[in-house]
Amino acid sequence: MGNIVWLASYPKSGNTWLRAFLINLITDAEEPIDINKMGALTFGDSQSHWYEKVSNVKLKSLSSEGLASLRPKVHEIIANSSDNSVFVKTHNALVEVSGANMITRSVTAGVIYVVRNPLDVTLSYADHLGQPIDRIIDLMSRKDFETPGDETHVPVHHSDWSTHVNSWTMTSHPAFHIVRYEDMTSQPLKTFSAIAKFLRMKVDKNRLRRAVRFSSFKTLAAQEKLNGFIERTPVQQNFFRSGKAGAWKKKLNANQVKRIITIHRHQMARFDYLPKGY
């Protein structure tokens, strides 16, 4: 058994919120931790500097197969970077790509997977990428969908929303903890308390409440307004937009809703995301 606890999700599903909560909880902070310093306790599996440690050539020259061959070594280095659990953010699907698994099970200690209604994910992702909603619906339906690499990150294989969700949640396992974004918004204390319990952290109610408050949307948005946020894309006005569930009801047209449901009906039904009438 390894050291990595994967913080997994499809993009724009609440991963940043989860990481903010964990860093405030673990450090027992007396004031909100700077959102731009979350990397001190939560790593990202697509950060290129990990791959540069195990590659003898420039990453740009590597094929998909070449990167795939490095991935287990990268995960091992991350796992061995601490004697304690290492929290690692990933937007990769739990699938095999170019002959290698995107997630290395041998160094895995556990998983927290955050799932969010794809109707809302579509809106948030469209804003994040600065793309039309219909274009995002198309991307979220492609099994080969991945974000390309750049100077600081290697490519991330998302796959389509349904495949991503199913790959992480299709089997029940005591080391896997599934969280719905909607429960994070409607029942934060109960939901985040369950996360702490899953991690076997014995914390008092005051510490838990403080971590929940310090990682609330209101607090995170205020920090971004004051100091900016390094994960905001150039096309975004704000990374933290509204934080609410159900915004799709006023933003998506009937055809867009129908398209998303037609593509992702099975997984949406599993997590109680199908609107009445569908």
pLDDT grade, residue 146 (50/70/90)? very high
What average pLDDT does this structure show over 224-241?
62
- Model pLDDT for residues 28-63, shown as the tens digit of each residue: 888 887 777 777 778 999 998 899 988 877 787 788
Cβ contacts of 55 within 8 Å, gap of 6 or more: 62, 70
pLDDT grade, residue 198 (50/70/90)? very high
Domain ranges of the chain: 4-116+146-237
Helix (H, G, I), strand (E, B) or coil at 127: helix
Helix (H, G, I), strand (E, B) or coil at 255: helix
Q: Is the pLDDT at 240 greater than 60, yes or no?
A: no
Question: What's this model's pTM, rounded to 2 decimal places?
Answer: 0.92
Quote the CA–CA distance of 2 and 109 in Å, as a whole number: 5
- Model pLDDT for residues 47-106, shown as the tens digit of each residue: 988 999 888 777 877 888 888 889 999 999 999 988 888 999 999 999 999 888 999 999
C-alpha count within 13 angstroms, C-beta hemisphere, residue 2? 23
User: Which pair of structure tokens corresponds to residue 6?
Assistant: 């994967």
Helix (H, G, I), strand (E, B) or coil at 64: helix
**Distances from the Cα of 112 to the Cα of 74, 194, 198, 201, 235, angstroms:** 20, 11, 9, 14, 29
- Any idea which of 46-60, 75-89, 131-145, 229-243 has the lowest mean pLDDT? 229-243
Quote the CA–CA distance of 236 and 124 in Å, as a whole number: 10
For domain 4-116+146-237, say whether CATH 3.40.50.700 is its number: no
Q: Is the pLDDT at 230 greater than 70, yes or no?
A: no
